[in-house]
Amino acid sequence: MRPGPWACPLDTGAALLAGPGTRRYLNHVAAQVAVIEGDGIGREVIPAAITVIRQLGLGLEFQPVNVGAERYLQTGEALPEDDFAQLEAADAILLGAIGDPRITDSRYSWQTLGRIRRELDLYANVRPARLLCGRLSPLRDPGPRAADIIVVRENTEGLYSRMGGRFKPGTPEEMAIQEHVSTFRGVTRILGYAFSTARSSVVLADKWQAMPHAGALWQRCWRDARDAHPDVPARHMSIDACALHMIAEPWQFDVIVTENCFGDILSDIAGGLIGGVGMAPSASINAATGRALFEPVHGSAPDIAGTGTANPAAAILSGALMLRHLGFAAEAAAVEAATAAALEAGECTADAGGSLSTREAAVAIAWRLG
């Protein structure tokens, strides 16, 4: 099977597919990377990731964008138009995390991360989960059949469309409606992206029995996608069975494609199989426009923010995904290999079995890049 853009992250000789969204920067034309450290540990892991990327000497231009809880609490602005224009113009966005316990209004995340995904139409949320160090697996003796899964999650529709409402809120008669939204265009393009990413196979995970209307649309589009890619083995699983088999037999999965909410859940399961979400990178991509955002899966983790103990691996690996998107495939593979080597040597943070600080763990990886 043809390798996808996230394939074989530790094989520097792998032929990586430069998909339609991949950008290439040659002849010393510097890529412009908009950087949002955001909230919580995002303010620690993103500088760590940039430290590693700078070690490669690629000349990328990192442009800070002040989006986060502190500014929101001071000004009431979540993402001003001037800052959003800077994100639109960037070649890539590197983001730490959005979320602060002082802000309970969901509009904050909707107007920041939600707006970026929605208005830049970053429809494909790609979350690769590959076990880089055997001792991090929660499974007994994973051996050569360890997890190497890519969850491709529809990123702009589903239950996260925020359609619905509350009637008589705060009373004994309260009623809440949360709508699931799936469109033919949205489902078709996420399935197409999943097949283009596949290295060996694609699994569609859904719950069509309990969601007959959305399920019928997904099944219709799934049949069309399979017919359009007859060389890629494909099968359908119920979401609950898929979750079970991911834990029991993760080696059977290559690409799993699903809707927004289910993808959020499955990607956390996949993260658990590789040592936790502190090891899990992600990318949100529009393959047609080339716009993309890269962020660790772990969120802002306010309970450890400011302690210097956050694992920078997910942010660093997200940076590697960004490098591959920008056309630096060999450099991306080198970052991934250096991360794996540092983990194997125990030069990492406590959650991965080491004793280093966030900054020290990043330096250990950067040192391996020469």
| Enzyme catalytic residues | 160, 207, 240, 264, 268
Distances (CA, A) of 300 to 54, 294, 297, 350: 24, 15, 9, 18
For the chain, strand residue ranges (E) read: 32-38, 61-64, 92-97, 124-130, 148-154, 164-167, 175-178, 202-206, 234-238, 255-258, 281-285, 292-296
CB-CB contact of 255 with 124 (8 Å)? no
CB-CB contact of 216 with 182 (8 Å)? no
CB atoms within 10 A of CB 142: 18
Buried b (16+ CB within 10 A) or exposed e, 156-171: bbbbbbeeeeeeeeee
CB atoms within 10 A of CB 283: 23
